[in-house]
Amino acid sequence: MQTKDINEEIKWAQINKDVLRSMENPRKAYWVAVGMCLAMLACAVVAEIYQYRTGMGVADLNWPNMWGLYIATFIFWIGMSHSGTLLSAILHIIHADWRKPIYRFAEAMTTFSLMTAGLFPVIHLGRMWNMYWVLPYVSDRGIWPNFRSPLVWDAFAIFTYLTSSALFLFIGMIPDLAICRDNARGWRKKLYTVLSLGWAGTDRQWRHFRKTYLLMACFLIPLAVSVHSIVSSDFAMSIMPGWHVTTFPPYFVAGALYSGCAAIITLFIILRYFFRFEEYMTIPIMEKTCKLTFAIAMVWTYLNLIEFASTWYGHDLVAKEVLVDKFVGHWAPYFWAMLFFGSVLPFTLAFEKLRRHLPTMFVVSLFLNVGMWLERWMIVGPTLSMAYQPFAWNFEYPSMVQWAIVFGSFGWFGLLFLVFVKIFPSVSMYEVKEMVYHRRRAHVEDQAVAFHRRAGDGQPVTDTP
Amino acid sequence: MSGNQINRRDFLKIMGWSGAGVALAGCDRPTTVTLHEGKEEVVSYLMPEEYVIPGVGVYYATTCQQCPAGCGIHGRVREGRVLKAEGNPDSPVNYGKLCQMGQAGVQGHYNPDRMTKPHIRKGGNLVEASWDEAMALLKQKVGPDSGLAGDRFAWFTGQVSGHQAVLVNALMDSLGSERHYVHEVVNNAVTRAVNKDMLGVATPRYRIDEAKAILSFGADFLGAGQSPVHYATEYATFRTGDRGVLMVAEPKMSLTGANADLWMAVRPGTEGVLALGIANELVIRHKRKIDNLPAEVRDLITHYDLDTTAQITGVAGDRIVKATQWLHSRTPSLVLAGQSAENQAHGYQIAAATMLLNMVLGNVGRTIVPGTELPFPQLAAKQGGTADLRAFAKAVEQGAYDAVFFYNTNPAYTAPSYMKLAEKLQSKVGFKVVLTQFPDETAKQIADLVLPLHSPFEDWGTHVAASSYDEAVISMQQPLMEPLYPTTRGFGDIVLDVLKMRDSDNYGQYADYYAYLSQAFGALSADWQKTLQTGLLKVEGQAQRINAKAVKVSLPDYKQNAEFPYHLVPSARLGLWDGRHANIPWLQEAPDQISKVVWDSWAEMHPATADKLGVSTGDYITVTSDQGTIETQVYVFNGIHPDVVAVPMGQGHEEYGRYAKGRGVNPLKLISPKHDAKTGELALYGTRVKVAKAGRSEALVRMGGPGRNEAQLGRKLVATVTADVYRRTEGANDVA
Amino acid sequence: MSLKNILENWSQYRRGHEQGGHHEYEHMWGMAIDLNKCIGCNACSVACYAENNLAIVGKHRYSKSQAMHWMRIERYWDEPELEKAGLVTKGKTIETGASFLPMLCQQCNAATCEPVCPVAATYHTPDGLNAQVYNRCIGSRYCSNNCPYRLRYFNFWSYYEDSWPEPLHMQLNPDLSVRDKGVMEKCTFCVQRIRVAKDEAKMADRKVIDGEFQTSCQQSCPTDAIVFGDMLDPQSRVTKLWKTHQVELGKSKQSKQNPDKRGYRVLEGLNTDPCIMYLERVREV
């Protein structure tokens, strides 16, 4: 049984070779995946064009269910975006080096799910051609957006987070891009030359790099927490029962981390399998991620219980009605499915045998995310369908247009990710080397010192020390 | 009335059609923008028409034609288009208020499915024709050389009044005919007959505003009644100050019932028993004197003690006691009978029983008072019922007529299927002329000649309300705008043309109906301009005289029907009325006040009955009488007697334009051939039916969605106080 | 909402609605609806369709709850107060008729729809109206979601062709626009009529006279259940009614000297400060 996070005997050239190999010569399976994603995206594009031309009515949204799947899926993708960058930053700061083989694709996932999430507020607008009105651009008529509106905060938060996490991803990739540059030909060479920003691995460059990276990590942690808190204000700042909940910010952050971790597990297994990254994305790292996910799942469950309890014992009869309806009413099937996937299913992560069994984890991680999608739907749906005015209570049955767009968003995300893994190294080469070095040094101090001396000479490492 | 001060500004703008109006009525039309001529052209406002003030709405007074009540309205006209109908504050009928049907008049006017050209039936099909052809055909069939014998001609119309009624009569005179059938489905014909017999006048004035307690036996005076707006304004007075109590006994909750303090589900046809039971209770418990009633009536009343009454009517004894208590303690009271009570096979007896109750309560002379009548009987409203429909069907069957003119009515839709009216008309009457605004069933299915009419907003006319009010008025109808279609004509103009064919000596002098009307007003020595501006000509009315006289009443025993265990209630609703407004999208989209259903038919059913059948709201059921079957969706609610299935009138049109055609079902088709012996009125509410599950189900389209909750769930949405509190705090001095 | 404006009027913008709001109000249009008189007949609703160019959505879209009834009559069956007092047996409430509730935009002074609009398309006017600027609306629908009364309606479709086939479009009121797909709309208290009345008063150099104009719903109401007017005018009918029934603006809970007075505001406890006062329904029991 594998117990070490990484093979300490691995050769540095082997690392480069393995990672660079994963970026070349796409196999048939890759093109099939690209085709599938394109087809999914096409569904969404067709649906969106139809909706754009005809009106939001084609989504079967209604009075008073005005938001539907669009906003639920928006929160889902925003949530998905949280684990990558946030975990990467936190683990970086606390020197948890097992993050190193997996943080790159996780950060990419962050960026792409943000790019997916950002589409939904636009898609759901009745007049999306005017969406730029939510931004505070200078208008000669002195018209500004309404700074009191959580939707405007959203726009700021998402743009800030997208910029920062993309920067974080990019900065962390610079040394690797230099490796790519040195090993590439043709257009790739040109691309990596530009992107690697003249990285030569000098001492000065490394110093600045380390400092910048650390600063970015420090900046990103509060930013990531605030982004999802702000998204939660879309609901928490409202007056509606079931939305007007004080615990929503931490609840949303926990949910976000949860779904993000689950997605990391899914992508971990996919990448490990297709790119034969068994040497890097090892079972012990998988186990660590699973344990983390389990811990977050329990936090999420706890926050759920708090919410139920405070609503149940609170004096707000209307909020209680919504809660009771979730328990036993129209929404009960989805609600209990959410609780099962979100709170019961993660207990599989508590068993070592299951944790180490990748097919099981693959399925489990997918269902965890189904549960988390349902959670978002359970936030948006029930409150809209029943609030203060009983005569206006109503249900919504989303149309194929809504489903197509939601479905297509996964294609869009997948496509971005597929393009990424073939252009950029999805495992951080230089950091895996650091990890291998540090691990090895812990056992073989002398060897490591020698290694370090040589590695610091600014030349690309092409040979074993 | 608050309206007076409110509309002061508007008053300045209220105009009559002066120069332009006259020109319009003459041959040379003013060149305003009409739909077909100038829609695409830019018309310069440098040379505006006299009555077109850019950007400013001008108000013209006219009369609402959406139901027979005859409310006065102000039409808002801007840039030559009529935009909105608002109540005329001067009218003693509606005091500046207007119901939803009146509001929707503009959609009848601009209806996309209007009849725009004359049509002649050729080889079974209606073919578009010119007015020359149409008039030639008229001349051939009813002209002086047609050889049409006077008694072979008949008019079949809805309620007509004013100078249109005069013209209708004139045409009959010129032909030597005596038959004018007047048909209205929503009517009070039986009550009128009872009033005539027991009070001496058919339409006394009901003082709802004076009453302190009202007991209505299915009289939906707030909804589908004789003058809903007028009675609603009186109802407001009734409810303020020393607030009156409203009790309603009916098989299915009407809009009036929905506003009751005590609503009693009564077994259909037993309303008379309930009335006499209450009379008995008044005598026994409250020692009311009934010595002035004939002995046989007194005997009859004693027959209905509390238990018997409760048992027959299905109304709980304590409710009867309560209602009696209120009627006794709160005087003056008023007892009204409406369609569900009087349109039974013994409707006259029921209505008479309710009038007896009025006599026991001493209401005659207090809340049932003499009204004012117009001194010109020839202008008075010719009120209709269903007796004329029956008589007409019979006469047609016997082949009594060669030519029939239809106006303001749609018998092909409203006649019960047992009459087979359409087929009989097709085979037995040679020449059927339908004067109509819309392609309705009568026009499409049976007419030989369809003459497209101006809408009420394009035509001239005068109207006299059927009910009695404070003042006697002749209400003016004048064009609010250029006709939308150059090929429609006014009713008066067409009838005048026919009259000219037959009697040019008398009628040749009138260029058109406008000339005829203005001359007639000259004869009344009325100020024509002023009348047009106010829309009303108030005349010194004649006071009615009431002589109360009790009649003998005999109420048959209630009988169960094993094969057809349920009663069919073809309820009328304020909105689609008898189906004439089914082509108006606003009224289709305005929810039924009680069930909140839109755009369709439904069958109301009591939860107990629904349980028995195993159906719930939204399931389809079949309702079968001995005359046929209809299939519609169920709406389950408590406001209906368990033995009753109510299917509202209005839908189920086979023609009538895009908004009406093929929508819902028509309960009138199920009516069994029963009628009131005394008046000959159809027993519209006397049909027995059986009900079965149809097996399909879909969501019933109602306001709100399927998740709608109709309880307040602890929120203070509609809060309630008791009348005692109200009288204590606001009793006499209501600031509003 | 220019920056300069904010900076110059900072203290004013800091004022909550309890202190009179951040406007120097010229008017405060308000309403009183007497449920004792309301018969639920729908005249107001259709009058609103006629005045405000409301779209007819048809059966299919109505079935999807996409109707545009700015003025809707809700109908409830229960009577909690009477049931609690033991005057009516639960389940027997049908014997005392229905409870009709005309619901139109409550023109809240602390409107929950206003702060959430990302582009400030809905805002409070110096007339005390909760205005909706159709041209500014981008259709995020947040306002509707945050309206506890559910009185905002969204143009899910372009209704022009379907709702007003020729020549029905000739009825459209030129005083206000026909809304296209993607914008939110709601009752405006017939702002076009307010506008005309204000302009005329200004031209004549006088104040707007109470009762000079009516909202469309008020005008049609056969029982005069709706009273509309300026609540800053101490002599207006609506002010007097509010006073008589001891309901005040700027409160989330009324402290009535006489608790039997019938005035109340729907969902007042949410502190939305609506400008429509309802008068309790009355029942003989």
Which one of B707, B711, B712 has the shortest CB-CB distance to A385?
Answer: B707
Q: From the CA of B576, how many Å to the nearest CA of chain A?
A: 24
- CA separation for the pair B548, B392 (Å, rounded): 33
- CA separation for the pair C193, C215 (Å, rounded): 7
Q: Judge if B173 and B219 occupy the same domain.
A: no
DSSP line for C73-125: EEEE---HHHHHTTSS-TT-GGGG--EEEEE-----TT-SHHHH-TT--EEE-
Q: Which CATH class is domain A12-455?
A: mainly alpha
- Minimal Cα distance from A392: which residue of C? C150
8 A C-beta contact, residue B395 and residue B428 = no
Report CB contact under 8 Å: C156, A62: yes
Q: How far is CA B648 from CA A227, A302, A432, B337, in A?
A: 56, 55, 79, 19
Report CB contact under 8 Å: B704, A388: no
According to CATH, what is the number of the domain C17-279?
A: 3.30.70.20
Amino acid at B478: Q
Q: What is the predicted pLDDT for the residue at B528? A: 80
Residues contacting B147, CB < 8 A, separation 6+: none
Q: Of chain B residues 2-31, which have a CB less than 8 A from chain C?
A: 2, 5-6, 8-9
Report CB contact under 8 Å: C163, B2: no
8 A C-beta contact, residue B162 and residue B376 = no
> Helix, strand or coil for residue B537?
strand
Q: What is the predicted pLDDT for the residue at B732? A: 65
Average pLDDT, chain A: 88
User: Residue B410 pLDDT more than 90?
Assistant: yes
Structure tokens at A61: 């949204």
Amino acid at B346: H
Residue B560 touches partner C, C-beta closer than 8 Å: no
Report CB contact under 8 Å: A391, B704: yes
- CA separation for the pair C164, A216 (Å, rounded): 58
For residues A258-272, average pLDDT: 90
C neighbour chains, 3+ CB pairs within 8 Å: A, B
pTM for the model stands at 0.90
> Which tops the pLDDT comparison, A451 or B557?
B557
Residues contacting A281, CB < 8 A, separation 6+: A101, A102, A268, A271, A272, A427
Give the rounded distance of the alpha carbon of A390 from its chain centre.
38
Within 10 angstroms of residue B302's Cβ, the number of other Cβ atoms is: 14
Q: What are the boundaries of each domain within chain C?
A: 17-279
Q: Judge if B211 and B148 occupy the same domain.
A: no
| Sheet of strand B461-463: strand arrangement | B461-463, B472-477, B536-539
DSSP line for A186-230: HHHHHHHHHHTTT----HHHHHHHHHHHHHHHHHHHHHHHHHHHH
Q: From the CA of A138, how many Å to the nearest CA of chain C?
A: 10
Name the DSSP letter for residue C253: S
For residues B100-114, average pLDDT: 94
Exposure of C205 by Cβ count < 10 A (0-12 exposed, 13-18 middle, 19+ buried)? exposed
Nearest to B617 by CA among B639, B634, B640, B595: B634
A112-137 per-position pLDDT tens digit: 999 999 999 999 999 999 989 998 88
Which one of C75, C118, C154 has the shortest CB-CB distance to A126?
Answer: C154
8 A C-beta contact, residue A408 and residue A69 = no
Residue B89's CATH number: 2.20.25.90
Contacts of B709 in chain A (CB under 8 A): 386, 390-391, 393
Phi, psi (5° rounding) for residue A451?
A: -55, -45
Q: Judge if B222 and B272 occupy the same domain.
A: yes
B344-389 per-position pLDDT tens digit: 999 999 999 999 999 999 999 899 999 888 888 888 899 989 999 9
- CA separation for the pair B693, C216 (Å, rounded): 44
Hey, what's the torsion of the CAs at A134, A137, A139, A144, to 10 degrees?
40
3-state helix, strand and coil shares in percent for chain C, rounded to the nearest 5: 30, 15, 55
> Which tops the pLDDT comparison, A445 or B46?
A445
User: Residue B47 pLDDT more than 80?
Assistant: no
8 A C-beta contact, residue B122 and residue B447 = no
pLDDT band at B39 (very low <50, low <70, confident <90, very high): very low
Phi, psi (5° rounding) for residue B83?
A: -110, -35
Contacts of A394 in chain C (CB under 8 A): 65
Q: Judge if B198 and B323 occupy the same domain.
A: yes
- Whether B496 is covered by a domain: the verdict is no
Q: Judge if B81 and B17 occupy the same domain.
A: yes
- CA separation for the pair C181, C68 (Å, rounded): 12
Q: What is the predicted pLDDT for the residue at A459? A: 45
Amino acid at A66: M
Name the DSSP letter for residue A243: T
- Whether B712 is covered by a domain: the verdict is no
Q: Judge if B363 and B288 occupy the same domain.
A: yes
CB-based burial, B683-698: b 16+ in 10 Å, e otherwise: bbbbbbbbbeebeeee
For residues C5-30, average pLDDT: 82
B212-249 per-position pLDDT tens digit: 999 999 999 999 988 999 999 999 999 988 899 999 99
The alpha carbon dihedral of B2, B5, B9, B14 has a sign of: positive
Report CB contact under 8 Å: C46, B253: no
Which one of C72, C80, C227 has the shortest CB-CB distance to B703?
Answer: C72
Amino acid at A441: R
For residues B307-320, average pLDDT: 91
Looking at chain B, the whole-number percentage of residues with pLDDT higher than 70 is 92
B54-105 per-position pLDDT tens digit: 777 888 889 999 998 989 999 988 888 899 999 999 899 999 999 999 999 9
pLDDT band at A446 (very low <50, low <70, confident <90, very high): low
Phi, psi (5° rounding) for residue B90?
A: -80, -20
Q: Directed axis angle between helix A150-183 and helix A429-443, to 10°?
A: 70
- CA separation for the pair B563, B618 (Å, rounded): 25
- CA separation for the pair A308, A334 (Å, rounded): 16
A310-360 per-position pLDDT tens digit: 999 988 889 999 999 999 988 999 999 999 999 999 999 988 888 888 899
- Whether B713 is covered by a domain: the verdict is no
User: Residue B45 pLDDT more than 60?
Assistant: no
Q: Judge if B584 and B518 occupy the same domain.
A: no
- Whether B558 is covered by a domain: the verdict is no
For chain A, report the end-to-end CA distance as a whole number of angstroms. Answer: 28
H or E, element range at B428: helix B421-428
A372-406 per-position pLDDT tens digit: 999 999 999 999 998 899 998 988 889 999 999 99
pLDDT band at A445 (very low <50, low <70, confident <90, very high): low
- Minimal Cα distance from C74: which residue of A? A391
Q: How far is CA A76 from CA A310, A409, B540, in A?
A: 24, 11, 78
- CA separation for the pair B682, B345 (Å, rounded): 8
For residues B393-412, average pLDDT: 92
Q: What is the predicted pLDDT for the residue at C171? A: 92
Residue B393's CATH number: 3.40.50.740
Residue A145 touches partner C, C-beta closer than 8 Å: yes
Q: How far is CA B699 from CA A343, B620, B633, B649, C77, in A?
A: 36, 10, 9, 21, 21
Report CB contact under 8 Å: C221, B97: yes
> Helix, strand or coil for residue B699?
coil
Q: Judge if B253 and B367 occupy the same domain.
A: yes
Nearest to C122 by CA among B629, B713, B674, A149: A149
Q: From the CA of B703, how many Å to the nearest CA of chain A?
A: 8
Q: What is the predicted pLDDT for the residue at B1? A: 36
Q: What is the predicted pLDDT for the residue at A455? A: 54
Q: Judge if B600 and B692 occupy the same domain.
A: yes
Report CB contact under 8 Å: C284, B96: no
Residues contacting A344, CB < 8 A, separation 6+: none
Q: How far is CA B198 from CA B203, B293, B725, in A?
A: 12, 12, 39
Q: Judge if B338 and B201 occupy the same domain.
A: yes
Residue B345 touches partner C, C-beta closer than 8 Å: no
B502-524 per-position pLDDT tens digit: 888 888 888 888 888 888 887 77
> Helix, strand or coil for residue C244?
helix
- CA separation for the pair A313, A331 (Å, rounded): 21
Q: What are the boundaries of each domain within chain A?
A: 12-455
Contacts of C258 in chain B (CB under 8 A): 729
In chain C, which residue ranges form alpha helices assigned H by DSSP? 3-8, 10-13, 43-52, 58-63, 80-84, 113-116, 142-145, 160-163, 191-203, 216-220, 237-244
Tokens 């009413």, located at residue: A329
Report CB contact under 8 Å: B232, C59: no
Exposure of C11 by Cβ count < 10 A (0-12 exposed, 13-18 middle, 19+ buried)? exposed
B244-290 per-position pLDDT tens digit: 999 999 999 999 999 999 999 999 999 999 999 999 999 999 998 88
The alpha carbon dihedral of C99, C104, C108, C113 has a sign of: positive
Contacts of C59 in chain B (CB under 8 A): 588, 598-600, 663, 701
- CA separation for the pair B351, B336 (Å, rounded): 8
Q: From the CA of C27, how many Å to the nearest CA of chain B?
A: 18
Nearest to C41 by CA among B170, B101, B248, B449: B101
- CA separation for the pair B558, B201 (Å, rounded): 31
Q: Judge if B576 and B671 occupy the same domain.
A: yes
Q: What is the predicted pLDDT for the residue at A462? A: 46
Name the DSSP letter for residue B686: -
Last residue of a domain, one of B452, B476, B496: B452
Q: Judge if B311 and B256 occupy the same domain.
A: yes
Report CB contact under 8 Å: A134, C119: yes
Tallying the residues shown for chain C, one arrives at 285
The alpha carbon dihedral of B355, B357, B361, B367 has a sign of: negative
Domain total in chain B = 4
Q: Which domain holds residue B391?
A: 119-185+378-452
Which one of A62, A126, A133 has the shortest CB-CB distance to C182?
Answer: A126
8 A C-beta contact, residue C176 and residue B83 = no
Chains A & C: contacts with CB separation below 8 Å: 153
Which residues is B462 bridged to in the sheet?
B476
Nearest to B149 by CA among B323, B400, B470: B400
> Helix, strand or coil for residue A33?
helix
Report CB contact under 8 Å: A145, C119: yes
**Complex prediction ipTM:** 0.93
Contacts of C212 in chain B (CB under 8 A): 6, 8-9
